[in-house]
Amino acid sequence: MNIIAELSNLLGEKHVLTGADVLAYSTDWTGKYTSNPLAVVRPLDTQQVSEIVKLAAANRIPIVPIGGNTGLTGATMADGAILLSLGRLNTIREMRPEARIAIVEAGVILSNLHTAAAEFGLNFPLTFGARGSAMIGGNLATNAGGSNVLRYGNTRALCLGLEVVLPSGEIMDLMSELHKDNAGYDLRNLFIGAEGTLGIITAAVLKLVPKPAAYGTAMVALASLSPALDLLNKLQISTGGAVEAFEFMPASYMELHAELFPNARAPFEKIHPVNILVEIGATAPRDTLPNEVGEIPIVDLLENALADMIETGEILDATVAQNETQRIEMWQRREQAADLAFHKKPFVNCDISVPLDKVEVFILEFENRLALIDPAATTLYVSHLGDGNVHPTIWPSSASPELEERIIEALEDVVSDLRGSFSAEHGIGISKLGSMARQKDATAIATMRAIKSALDPFGIMNPGKVLP
């Protein structure tokens, strides 16, 4: 109770939540992970975060950062810990359009940054379905991916600098605005993806890019995945590398979507084995300004490219969005993947990556192994095909933890055989600790432990996460 009183003196009582008031924070978005925090604290600025961490360190109390709580791996589990919400650190400190950077606090909601950048004709290109609640701090802590990685990279590639509160409570200023800086170890990238186990990110310098003035967006049907990369490569060549998204949805995905969202307009008259959502973003006036007959050149280019491939039999069918409403419809189908994946229980949700030309091999081999382990299990796949990231959801025949572990191990084995990764963009949290223990190089884990021990000798920063 002394700790609660000290926290209340520091932040004010209304920003220190206990008892029933913590319920909104104590269950994750999937509903799979729940915990009982000592308290939820809501600091206003970096200095208050620093004081909270100093207090936690002095009393050896674990501290767990939380942003929009949209994670899928249990990384915000906080039994007996101080759960530190970054939601009030929500200021966009600066928008610098000439330098194409934004200086923002960790609690800025991703979609709010999109809106702010758009006022200058710019964009922060990280995007995914939870953008309306996910916060920049969480995006950085997990090195989030999303649909535009193909063109712009993960969050790490979009960050120039950080402000971090260390486990000691010291504030480390890494808020570089430089594109080139070889002054010693790359500490910035050490904290990105560390899930709050090494320190708490409180602010960042982020890269902005020109916002596309026009999009070419289409649903493309194929008989199999085999010609998909050829389609992607041809579109990259014809557009000068302007493909922003290349998303794969198999027939089973389309069937389930039609069942759960019966009012959604189907892109094709029939369901095809392979369905690709492709989007091209254009900024140059030659590609974005309507021609003499009112056509948008980038849309016309996409239509012509797809028409040629239909003519040669490389693709089965294609539907090109003719307006923003149709574009949004296409994206809604893809972004409702979580609604499909979590519509029934029990589920095993995975996040893997393999080389671009091995996605089909992965799916076929994993299905073969799954049939031997749990013949009654069913699956759903969706993929950021352009960067090799696949999200398999498995609905096993029972909720047995032993069965789930066997399924995950089989999946890991297939991924390992293909020299892929068991974690692509969602982070480790607690859900992938077993995978880390089984699959991560032992020397790499030992090195991670040494770094953790050096920075956090009392082990108070998000303990029990990332490291097995």
Q: What is the pLDDT of residues 269-311, one digit of tens each?
A: 999 999 999 999 999 999 999 988 889 999 999 999 999 999 9
Is there a single domain that holds both residue 305 and residue 404?
no
Please write the tens of the pLDDT for every residue from 303-353: 999 999 999 999 999 999 999 999 999 999 999 999 999 999 999 999 999
Is 328 in the same domain as 374?
no
Q: Which of 337, 370, 391 is the last residue of a domain?
A: 337
Please tell me the total count of domains within the chain: 4
- Residue-wise pLDDT for 77-99, tens only, equals 999 999 999 999 999 999 999 99
Confidence of residue 376 (pLDDT cuts 50, 70, 90): very high
Domain assignment present for residue 465? The answer is no
What are the strands, taking DSSP E only, across 368-440?
Answer: 378-384, 389-395
For residues 265 and 317, state if they share a domain.
yes
CATH code (residue 431): 3.30.70.2740
Which 8-state DSSP code applies to residue 162?
E
| 190 lies in the same domain as 294 | no
Residue 29: per-residue pLDDT: 80
158 belongs to a structural domain: yes
Query: Of 337, 354, 387, which closes a domain?
Result: 337
- Domain with 317, as residue range(s), is 214-337
Mean pLDDT across the chain, nearest whole number?
A: 96
Is position 256 within any domain?
A: yes
Q: How confident is the model at residue 1 (pLDDT cuts 50, 70, 90)?
A: low
Nearest alpha carbon to residue 410 among 345, 352, 341: 352
Query: Same domain for 306 and 350?
Result: no
In this structure, how many other beta carbons lie within 10 angstroms of the beta carbon of residue 297? 18
Looking at 337, 353, 381, the residue that finishes a domain is: 337
Q: Is 200 found in the same domain as 99? A: yes
Is 464 inside any structural domain?
no
| Per-residue pLDDT tens over the stretch 100-111 | 999 999 999 999
Pair (69, 158) in one structural domain: no
pTM for this model (two decimals): 0.94
Q: Which residue in 9, 92, 85, 81 sits closest to 49, CA to CA?
A: 85
Question: What is the crossing angle of helices 228-239 and 297-311, to 10°?
Answer: 140
Looking at the fold, whether 377 and 323 belong to one and the same domain comes out as no
Residue 400 domain-assigned (yes or no): yes
Residues 363, 306, single domain; the answer is no
| Structural domain includes residue 378 | yes
How many CA atoms does the CB half-sphere of 47 hold within 13 Å? 2
Residue pLDDT, tens place only, 32-79? 889 999 999 999 999 999 999 999 999 999 999 999 999 999 999 999
pLDDT > 90: percent of the chain: 97
Kindly state the DSSP code that residue 266 receives in the 8-state scheme: P
- Does 318 share its domain with 219? yes
- The CA angle 171-177-182, to the nearest 5 degrees, is 85
308: in domain: yes
- Please choose, from the candidates 161, 138, 203, 167, the residue with its C-alpha nearest in 3D space to the C-alpha of residue 50: 167
Residues 380 and 280 in one domain: no
Pairing state of beta strands 214-222 and 274-282?
antiparallel
